[in-house]
């Protein structure tokens, strides 16, 4: 005779965090660094010029604005200069966003593997994680923009992160704040929790769950 009691089997086995807008808000400093870099190169740009390229990696973030003004650049050189400026102005000024440590602790207590997957280059990832007190070894895996040829909204970065965690994408929750990131997560086959730190909820409508920050994230996002 079958038992009336059934063991609840959960699908979720891992959490993949985007970095900017999820763990830390570094957009102000990155934008300022890019504006200063272009000024150093002799071009005046506006902060709003960068908005369409948020979440798509620094090649698109810087290169997209350069293209807008028909301003030819050596992307590797100007990116290196931007990161140098960024590290100087961001050092000591970055803080983890609300709820980050609590959410990570909840995930850890549930036995979930965790990864960071960011379109930013490794140097920016290291600066950000170090400044908010979450060094790279706080996670089971990390993926940075230098490891991914096709950037978001392509799903590659989250598929790579899941593989590094030795999980299927379908077993992972992605925490994102950008439209391109939500699209990438869904395309990868992951569940997605969208934070409205950078975009409005209606812009992130493809996600499964929503919250303002990780501080008020719905508990169901870690229990499915």
Q: Which residues are catalytic?
A: 18, 20
Report the interhelical angle of 27-40 vs 75-90 (nearest 10°): 130
Counting DSSP H helices and E strands in the chain, the numbers are: 7, 6
Q: Are 213 and 99 in contact (CB under 8 A)?
A: yes
SS3 annotation, 16-51 = EECCECCCECCHHHHHHHHHHHHHHCCCCCCHHHHH
CA separation for the pair 177, 85 (Å, rounded):
25
């Amino acid at each position: 005779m079958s038992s009336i009691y059934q063991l609840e089997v959960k699908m979720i086995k891992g959490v993949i965090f985007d970095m900017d807008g999820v763990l830390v808000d570094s957009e102000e400093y990155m934008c300022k660094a890019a504006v200063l870099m272009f000024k150093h190169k002799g071009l005046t740009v506006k902060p709003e010029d960068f908005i369409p390229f948020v979440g798509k990696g620094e090649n698109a973030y810087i290169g997209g604005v350069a293209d807008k003004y028909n301003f030819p650049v050596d992307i590797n050189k100007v990116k290196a200069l931007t990161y140098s400026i960024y590290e100087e102005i961001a050092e000591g000024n970055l803080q983890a966003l609300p709820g980050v440590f609590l959410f990570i602790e909840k995930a850890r207590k549930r036995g979930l593997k965790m990864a960071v997957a960011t379109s930013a280059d490794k140097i920016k990832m290291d600066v950000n994680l170090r400044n908010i007190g979450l060094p790279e070894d706080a996670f089971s895996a990390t993926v940075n923009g230098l490891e991914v040829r096709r950037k978001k909204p392509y799903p590659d970065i989250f598929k790579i992160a899941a593989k590094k965690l030795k999980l299927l994408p379908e077993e992972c929750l992605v925490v994102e704040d950008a439209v391109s990131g939500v699209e990438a997560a869904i395309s990868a086959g992951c569940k997605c929790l969208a934070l409205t730190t950078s975009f409005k909820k209606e812009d992130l409508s493809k996600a499964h769950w929503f919250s303002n920050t990780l501080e008020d994230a719905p508990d169901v996002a870690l229990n499915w």
